[in-house]
Structure 1
Amino acid sequence: MRCLRRAAIGALLLAPAQLAAQDMLQGVDLSQPAYSQSELTRSDVEAAIRAGRLDFAGKSLNGLDLSGLDLSGANFRAARLNKARLAGAKLDHAILDQAWLMEADLTGASLKGAQAFAAQMQKLRADNSDFSGARVAGDLTGAFLRGAVFDGANLSADMKNQSMGLMRAVLRSAILEGAVFRKANLMSADLRFAHAARADFTGANLMNADAAGADFTAAKFAGAMTKDLDLDSAQIDTAAEGELQSAQHLDRARRQ
C-alpha cells in the first residue's frame, strides 16, 4: 500500500508538467498573421546574410522560400517559420529554440550542431537532412525524416528545466525509415508509433524511451543502450532480440 501511495503521489506531481508539454498549442490561433505570414522577403534575408546580421529572433518568416541559403549560425529563437521552404539550406549551429517550423520543408538541409529546444516542428519535412551533433528537444510529431542523419545528436529529455513541461524529442508517428541515429542520445524520447524501419541506432542511448507501437523492422541496435526502452506492441526482428534484452515489454513486441 505504501508503494502504491508513493506512486500515486508521484503521478499527481508529474501530471502538470506533462500536460504543460502537451498543451503548448492550445489557445494559439495559427491563422493569425504572426503564424501564417512573413514580415520579410527572401531579398531581405539575403541582404542580412551579406551584412552578416543573422538575427531573426521573434520574426515571422512563415511560408518564405529560403531554399539553398547559407544561414549557418543564424538566430531564429522564437521565430515563426511555419510552412517555410528551407530545402538544401545550411543551418549549421543555428539557434532554433522555441521556433515554429510546423510543416516547414527542410529536405536535404544541413543542421549540424543546431539547437532546437522547445521547438514546434509537427509535420516537418526533412528527408535526408543532417542533424549530426544537434540538440533537438522539440515536437516532431508526424515529421518526415526518411534517411535523416542524427549522428551524435542529443534528443534526450531535459530533466533540469521543466518549467514548460518535460522537454524531449517527440517523434510520435514520425517517418524515420532509414534514418541514422549512431551514438545519438534518445534517452526518454517519445518514439511511439514511429515508422523506423531500417533505421540505424548503433551505439545509441535509448534508455527509458517510449517506443510503444513503433516499427523497427530491419533496424540496427548493435551496441545500443536499451534498458527500460518500452517496446509494447512494437515491431522488431527476431534477430535483434539479443540487443533488446534489457528493454521493457519485450515479450509484448511483435516479431518479424
Structure 2
Amino acid sequence: MLSRKHPHALWHCRPIVVGLWLAYLICAADSLFAAEPVTRQQVISQLESGTKDLSNLQAAGVDLSGVDFRGARLFGANFDGANLSNARLAHCNLDLTLMRGTVLVNADLRESSIFGVLMDRANLSGANLRGARLMSKLDSANLDGANLSELKSGADMRNQPMGLIRIVLTHASLKGAKLIGADLSRGDLSYADLREADLTRANLSRTNLTGANLGNAWLDGANLTDAEIHNAIFVGAMGMQKVLGLDSTKGKETATFDQ
C-alpha cells in the first residue's frame, strides 16, 4: 500500500514502461525507504556472521565497494547512489531494489536476479553480468565493456497480464560490451550506443533499436527478426551477411549501412 505521506507516488512513476503493476510496487517500496542507511561496517558484520537475508537493506549512498555479498538475498534493498564497485554479487537476489545512479564498476553480478530494478544512470562499466536475469530499467546507464553474455532479458509473452515487462536500455552506453548469446528480445535499446559491442548470436527479435549505433559491432548470427531499426547505424558492423531476419526488420530503409 502506498504511504499516506506520498499520495502521488504512483503518478510520478507513470512513465515507467516495465509494467504498471511493477511501477506500483517500486513506488510503494520507495515511499517506505525512510530509515537511516546502514554503515559499511554494519553490512560487513552481518555478512561475516553468516546472514544471507538482507532484504530491504537501507544503503543509499553507502560505500560498499569490494564487499562480498555472494548468494545474498537483497530483495527490495535501496542502493541509490551507493558505491558497489568491485563488489561480489554473484548469485544474489536483487529483485525490486533501487539502484539509481549506483556505481557498480567491475562488480561481479554473474547469474544474479535483477528483476524490476530502477537503474537509471547506473555505472556498470566493466561489470560481469554473464548469465544474469536482467529485466530492469537502465535509462542512460553506462555498461561500457561489461560482460552481458548469455544475459536472460527476453520478455516472456506467456506472463504479461498487466503490460509488457522488458529490459529498457534507452540512451544507454554499451560500447565494447560482450553480449554473446544474450536474449534481449522485445527489449528497448532505442538510441543505445552499441559501437564495437559483440552481439554474436544475440537474440534481438522484436527489439527496439531505433536510433541505436551499432557501428563496428559484431553481429554474426544475431537475430533481428521483426526488430525496429529506424535510423539505426550499422556502419562497419561485422557479420551482417549472417544476421537472421534482417529483411523482416521495420525501418530498414532509414537505417545506415555500409555502401
TM-score under structure 2 normalisation? 0.84
Q: Retained in 1: the 8 A contact 2:219–2:237?
A: no
Q: Retained in 1: the 8 A contact 2:136–2:168?
A: yes
State the AA in 1 paired with 2:67.
Answer: L
Q: Retained in 1: the 8 A contact 2:26–2:96?
A: no
CA deviations over 1:213-248 (Å, ceiling 9, x no partner): 101111111011111111111111265543234433
The whole-number CA distance in structure 1 between the counterparts of 2:21 and 2:229 is: 22
State the AA in 2 paired with 1:34.
Answer: F
Report the alpha carbon displacement of residue 97 of structure 1 after superposing the two structures with TM: 0.7
> How many percent identity over aligned positions?
30
Provide the residue aligned with 2:23 in structure 1: 24
Provide the residue aligned with 1:41 in structure 2: 39
Q: Retained in 2: the 8 A contact 1:210–1:229?
A: yes
Report the alpha carbon displacement of residue 74 of structure 1 after superposing the two structures with TM: 1.2
RMSD: 2.7
What aligned pairs does 1:141-156 form with structure 2 within 5 A after superposition?
141-156=139-154
Once structures 1 and 2 are overlaid, which stretch shifts more, 245-254 or 214-223?
245-254
Count of aligned pairs: 240
Provide the residue aligned with 2:190 in structure 1: 192
The whole-number CA distance in structure 2 between the counterparts of 1:205 and 1:166 is: 17
The whole-number CA distance in structure 1 between the counterparts of 2:49 and 2:169 is: 37
1:234 aligns with 2:232: yes
Provide the residue aligned with 2:83 in structure 1: 85
Task: Provide closer, same or farther for how the CA distance between residues 22 and 127 of structure 1 changes in structure 2, counting only shifts above 3 A.
Answer: farther
State the AA in 1 paired with 2:216.
Answer: A
CA deviations over 1:43-72 (Å, ceiling 9, x no partner): 111111111102121221101111001111
TM-score under structure 1 normalisation? 0.85
Report the alpha carbon displacement of residue 19 of structure 1 after superposing the two structures with TM: 8.2
| Structure 2: segments with no counterpart, 5+ residues | 1-15
Q: Retained in 2: the 8 A contact 1:38–1:63?
A: no
The whole-number CA distance in structure 1 between the counterparts of 2:190 and 2:56 is: 31
Provide the residue aligned with 2:135 in structure 1: 137
1:219 aligns with 2:221: no
| Structure 1: segments with no counterpart, 5+ residues | 1-16
